[in-house]
Amino acid sequence: MIKTLMGSLREYKKGSLATIFLSVLEAAFEILIPLCMAKVIDCGVDAGNMNAVWKYGIILLACALFQLLTGVLAAHVSARTSVGFSANLRQDMFDNVQTFSFSNIDKFSTASIVTRLTTDVTNIQNAYQMLIRMAIRGPVMLIFSMIVTFRINSAIALIFLAVIPVMTALLLLIIKKVNPIFGRVFRTYDELNNVVQENVRGIRVVKSFDREEYETAKFKEISARIYNDFAKGERLLAFNSPIMQFFMYGCKVIIYQRFLWLLYFIHFLISFRLQPCVS
C-alpha cells in the first residue's frame, strides 16, 4: 500500500525531501538555543564578561532567526507538497475507477467511491503533511536532546531514558483503542453519503409521498453515530497531552528532588564537620 501511495508523489518528491531536511535543521537550531543561553549566563553574566555576552547573544539571535526561517519554510513546503500529493492521488484513483470492469463496479457503491475520493484522500493528505513534518521533527528532537543531555549529565539523561518506554507504551495503548473507532467512523461516512445521494436523486419522490420527516430522522441517526464515535475517539486522544505533561513534570520533580537530597547531604556533612567537639 505504501508503495502504491508513494507512486502518486511524482514531482513532489523533491518537496518532501526538502521538508524533511528543513525539519531536521529546525530541530537542531531549537536544541542549540538553550545551549547558547547557558553560555550567555555561564561565560558572560556570571563571569562578568560583556564580550562573551555579546558574542553568545549574537549567536543566540542567529539561531532563533534560523529556526524561525527553517520552520516557516518547512511548513510552507510541506503544505504545498501534501496538497499536490493528494491531488495526484485523487486523480490516480479516479483514473483507476474508470478502468473497473462491470463486476468490480457492482462491488463498490457510489457513496463508497465518493468517500474514498474526498474524505479519505483528505485524511491521507493531512497524515502525510504530519509525517514529513512532525514525525520527522519529533524523533530528531529526541535524539539531539538525549545526546546533549548525556553530555551535560548522564544521570539526568538516564531518568528521561527510563521514562520513554513507559510513555510510549501508554501512547500505543491509546492508539490501539482509538484505531477501531475511527475505522468505524469512516465506514459510517459511506452510509451518510449514500443517504444524501438518495435524497438528492429522489427529492421529488420524497416530497410527493411526504417522507421528509422519515428522511430527516434517518439522516440525523447516521449523523449522530458519526458524532458519538468521533467524540469518543477524540476523548481518548485527549489523554495524549496529560500523559506527556505528567511525565515531563514528573521528570522535573525527580531531578529537583535528586539535587535537593544532594544539597541536604552536603549541608549535613558541613554541619557535622563544624560541630564543636565535646570533651
pLDDT score of 258: 63
Query: Using 50, 70 and 90 to split pLDDT, how confident is the model at 274?
Result: very low
Any domain includes 138 = yes
Any domain includes 157 = no
Q: Which residue has the higher pLDDT, 108 or 272?
A: 108
21, pLDDT greater than 90: yes
Q: What's the mean pLDDT in 106-117?
A: 77
- In Å, what is the CA distance from 116 to each residue of 65, 92, 272? 41, 12, 75
Q: Which residue has the higher pLDDT, 8 or 157?
A: 8
Q: Which of 194-203, 224-233, 246-255 reaches the highest mean pLDDT?
A: 224-233
Instruction: With CA atoms as reference, report the closest residue to 185 among 126, 236, 89, 119.
Output: 119
Any domain includes 211 = no
Q: What is the pLDDT of residues 58-96, one digit of tens each?
A: 999 999 999 999 999 999 999 999 999 999 999 998 888
Any domain includes 77 = yes
Q: What's the mean pLDDT in 30-48?
A: 85
CATH number of the domain enclosing 13? 1.20.1560.10
Any domain includes 50 = yes
Query: Using 50, 70 and 90 to split pLDDT, how confident is the model at 158?
Result: confident
SS3 of 277, please? coil
Q: What's the mean pLDDT in 159-181?
A: 87
Any domain includes 233 = no
Q: DSSP characters for 161-214?
A: HHHHHHHHHHHHHHHHHHHHHHHHHHHHHHHHHHHHHHHHHTHHHHHHTT-HHH
Q: Which three cell numbers stand for residue 275?
A: 560541630
Any domain includes 257 = no
Q: Which residue has the higher pLDDT, 79 or 244?
A: 79
Q: Which structural domain range is residue 21 located in?
A: 8-152
pLDDT score of 242: 87
Domain count of the fold of the chain: 1
Query: Using 50, 70 and 90 to split pLDDT, how confident is the model at 278?
Result: very low
Any domain includes 119 = yes
